[in-house]
């Protein structure tokens, strides 16, 4: 039997406690809430990959199209030996475009909370790009991510695609961008964000006809049952995507179909019929509003690339 090193074991025990604490705090709030980072267990990451291939989910294919057109322009500005650091790298599909268009990168540092998915993606990339050193970091980028010390003096290109920045409230986005600004020797930062558009297109992207996004959202309850021993009856909840005009965001909720009580770690959580758990925000920006947030975080905005229909945008930021 393979033994698990003690360090890994004690870290995973702490991780379980963090998960439980976060879930209990969120479900005991007046508007029940679960942090969207918990959507990404192995099954959730796999479902997210399926979402990116849906016809209704325009962000992934649009961002790929924008990067394919734009990255060649950026390439001459990137110094040979630069390390590429990516936040929320998932399956690293867009990373391959960066590797193809920007030659001479020395190292790839993907950071993701979804461990097995991250390690599988890094292993695939190592096979396909043997000259680039893979240094995956399993972690939560909302808490401190310390980079390996030997990379502190290496020039860096930061990459944050997928409109993951939109999962944060604007103040949280400024905080995260500010922490990115504090990473040593960052020359350039590529950030993908989603643009404001008609609510029908937006709702359809987050509530597809095939029910993949619904499965992604409901998988949270399956995960909580499995990892925290809760007794959610998943069939008693349904997925809902809402456009919140005031806050310019799509919200994902899990709606309780009836009045019910759920047990988690000795606590009883009461749901009335129609009450929701708010599971994800996806903020939509104008280019001006995003530039304002980036400026507040100490970044100067260079170009912003968009597609012909103005569905999505990719900003090139430089330290001010």
Ligand X SMILES: C[S@@+](CC[C@H](N)C(=O)[O-])C[C@H]1O[C@@H](n2cnc3c(N)ncnc32)[C@H](O)[C@@H]1O
Footprint of ligand X (CB under 6 A): 37, 40, 45, 48, 52, 60, 88-90, 94, 111-114, 140-142, 161-162, 164
Nearer to ligand X, 70 or 162 (CB): 162
Q: For residue 99, how many C-alpha atoms fall within 13 Å in the half-sphere facing its CB?
A: 20
- The rounded distance, in Å, linking the Cα atoms of 7 and 277 is 34
β pairing state of 186-194 and 107-112: unpaired
Scan for tokens 């008609």, then name that residue: 198
Q: Nearest distance from residue 139's CB to ligand X, in Å? A: 6
3-state percent helix, strand, coil for the chain, nearest multiple of 5:
40, 25, 30
Q: Nearest distance from residue 273's CB to ligand X, in Å? A: 31
CB atoms < 10 A from the CB of 91, how many? 20
Q: Nearest distance from residue 51's CB to ligand X, in Å? A: 9
Nearer to ligand X, 111 or 173 (CB): 111
Nearer to ligand X, 256 or 282 (CB): 282
- The rounded distance, in Å, linking the Cα atoms of 269 and 267 is 6
Q: Say if CB 262 and CB 271 are below 8 A apart.
A: yes
Task: Say what the alpha-carbon torsion angle 129, 132, 136, 142 is, to the nearest 10 degrees.
Answer: -110
Alpha helices in 113-251 (DSSP H): 115-128, 170-181, 199-205, 212-228
Nearer to ligand X, 162 or 277 (CB): 162
Q: Nearest distance from residue 220's CB to ligand X, in Å? A: 13
Q: Nearest distance from residue 95's CB to ligand X, in Å? A: 8
- The rounded distance, in Å, linking the Cα atoms of 107 and 150 is 11
β pairing state of 156-160 and 83-87: parallel
Nearer to ligand X, 176 or 293 (CB): 176
Residue 81 structure tokens: 């030996």
Nearer to ligand X, 141 or 271 (CB): 141
Q: Nearest distance from residue 235's CB to ligand X, in Å? A: 26
Q: Nearest distance from residue 12's CB to ligand X, in Å? A: 16
Q: Nearest distance from residue 62's CB to ligand X, in Å? A: 11
Nearer to ligand X, 110 or 256 (CB): 110
The b-or-e profile of 202-235 (16+ CB within 10 A means b, else e) is bebbbbbeeebbbbbbbbbbbbbbeeeebebeee
- The rounded distance, in Å, linking the Cα atoms of 19 and 26 is 11
Nearer to ligand X, 64 or 304 (CB): 64
């Amino acid at each position: 039997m393979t033994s698990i090193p003690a360090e890994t074991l004690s870290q995973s025990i702490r991780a379980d406690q963090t998960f439980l604490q976060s879930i209990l705090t969120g479900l005991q709030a007046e508007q029940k809430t679960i942090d969207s980072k918990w959507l990404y267990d192995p099954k959730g990451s796999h479902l997210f990959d399926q979402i990116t291939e849906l016809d209704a989910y325009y962000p992934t294919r649009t961002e790929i199209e924008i990067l394919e057109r734009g990255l060649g322009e950026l390439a001459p500005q990137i110094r040979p030996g630069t390390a590429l650091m990516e936040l929320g790298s998932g399956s690293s599909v867009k990373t391959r475009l960066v590797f193809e268009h920007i030659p001479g990168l020395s190292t790839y540092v993907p950071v993701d909370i979804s461990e097995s998915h991250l390690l599988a993606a890094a292993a695939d990339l190592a096979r396909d790009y043997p000259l680039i050193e893979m240094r995956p970091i399993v972690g939560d980028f909302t808490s401190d991510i310390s980079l390996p010390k030997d990379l502190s003096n290496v020039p860096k290109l930061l990459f944050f695609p997928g409109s993951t920045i939109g999962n944060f409230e604007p103040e949280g986005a400024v905080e995260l961008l500010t922490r990115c600004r504090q990473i040593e020797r960052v020359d350039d930062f590529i950030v993908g964000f989603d643009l404001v558009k008609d609510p029908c297109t937006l709702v359809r992207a987050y509530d597809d006809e095939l029910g993949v996004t619904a499965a992604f959202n409901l998988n949270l309850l399956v995960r909580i049952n499995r990892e925290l021993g809760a007794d959610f009856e998943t069939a008693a909840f349904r997925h809902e995507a809402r456009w919140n005009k005031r806050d310019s965001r799509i919200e994902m909720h899990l709606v309780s179909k009836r009045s019910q009580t759920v047990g988690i770690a000795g606590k009883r959580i009461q749901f009335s019929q129609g009450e929701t758990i708010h599971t994800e925000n996806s903020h939509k920006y104008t280019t001006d509003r995003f530039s304002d947030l980036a400026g507040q975080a100490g970044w100067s905005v260079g170009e912003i690339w968009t597609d012909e229909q103005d569905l999505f945008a990719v900003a090139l930021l430089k330290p001010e």
